[in-house]
Amino acid sequence: MRVSSNMMTANYLQQLNRSYAKQANLMEQSDGNSMHRPSDNPVNYTKTMTFKNTLAENTQYTDNLKSATSWMTTADGAMTNITDIMKSVIEKTTAAANGTNQTVDLQAAATDVNGMIQQIVTDANSQVGTRYVFSGQSDTTMPFSISSGKIDRGLTKTLDEKQASFFSGTQVGGLNQMLAMTGSDNKEYYLDMTSKNIYTKDFVDNGYKDAMAKGQTAVAATDAVGTAPATSTVGTYFTTTGALVTPAPAALTTTAGTTLSFQTVSQYVVTYHGDDKKISMPVQNGPSDPVRDSVNVTGSDLFGSTDIFGGSAGSSVLNDLYTMQAKMTAGDSSWVSSDGLTLANNARDSVLNAQSSVASRAGVYKDLQATMENQATTITGDITNASATDVASLVVQLKTAETLYNMSLSVGSKILPKSLADYL
């Protein structure tokens, strides 16, 4: 077989290019990544892509956890402030309930309570950036506002624990309430809208105790002094804001013929402008779970879902506090000592319940965040193990490839056939 100089040259150049290509391929790994295309290592390339996708999900969930924790921390701080103010309201109410107080003393307490309610509303309008934390999903809308003027709102009788047990079925939200009325005989009466029965104030305040002492465990139909129409509802007599409807329906009467009219109190009203929708920030794969993934507290969670009038969603306990403040202004220490204290304690309990729920979720989220960060460290290590360059090995391989390449150049210059240029 005849071997020409052209064949020798072609073979030599082919081997030289392979040596150069290997050197160039090794140089690619100088960026710390051992793979730049699937063909470099198909198995490890697939592993690396899987690890990177998992890390991206982990990063997103970790970001969600950080945002959720920030949101709940802000909400918890606001509720802590509100709870502290609620305690002061209870202290003021307890002091005002003392029967020895003069009207001027109650009015001074009312002024203080008014300022406290305003501060509560300010804290309830707290924000994270430009988003309101208690507005539900309507988080660009300021959730709470106080009316510029007072309205005449229906007065209620709030039952204590023993009364609520005897007059069962009167619960609305977190309270057991009846509607307060005044008779043409100048006596006071209460209307239970659940049973439609009308009772005297004396029976609801004291008479039921005598009935219980005789062995009666629950209110009886014979205890009522009248009834409202069976088809009537609270909406028959009041709007959802608590104002009397116009034109007024037929007046209610007792069986003895006493004409009754509903009592009202002139007070400020707080309105909730948010919604009751939850903000979810998923922290793991799978469908969103409103219970597990929700991070916000709505107005209804914080201040009650509704009141006896069917309105005030998200602000019912605040309006109850304004009722109490109005009764203080009127110097009614008897009402303050009974209904007022019940309402003040219920308002504090409503906020504490909401805060407890947030604190519990915040603790879970902080633990999850620590877990996610540990997982991120592990996944990053897996990516490094699958795709990172072994620097020490790479240096040896590069040096070897460089030496072989230089040797090839040196040998080639000596073994290739001479040309005419060698003799010139």
Q: Which tens digits make up the pLDDT trace of 296-354?
A: 899 999 998 888 998 878 899 999 999 999 999 999 999 999 999 999 999 999 999 99
Provide the pLDDT for residue 54. 81
Set out the domains of the chain in order of their start, with CATH numbers: 40-150+274-387 (1.20.1330.10), 151-267 (no CATH)
Averaged over 204-221, what is the pLDDT?
94
Q: Residues 212, 215, 218, 222: is their CA dihedral positive or negative? A: negative
DSSP state of 38: G
- Alpha carbon 282 to chain centroid, angstroms: 14
Binned at pLDDT 50, 70 and 90, residue 146 comes out as very high
User: What pLDDT, on a 0 to 100 scale, did the predictor assign at position 130?
Assistant: 92
* H or E, element range at 227: strand 226-227
The predicted model scores a pTM of 0.77
Handedness of CA 373, 378, 380, 381 (dihedral sign): positive
The answer to whether the beta carbons of residues 72 and 362 sit under 8 Å apart is yes
Give the least confident one: 34-48, 82-96, 183-197, 304-318: 34-48
Token pair, residue 53, equals 């996708």
Q: Give strand ranges (E) for 147-186.
A: 151-154, 156-158, 171-172, 175-183
Separation CA 60–CA 375 (nearest Å)? 13
Q: Which of 262-276, 284-298, 361-375 has the highest mean pLDDT?
A: 262-276
Both tokens assigned to 192: 């239970």
Torsion of Cα atoms, 398 then 400 then 404 then 405, to 10°: 10
**Does the CA dihedral 326-331-336-338 come out positive or negative?**
negative
Between 54 and 171, residue with greater pLDDT: 54
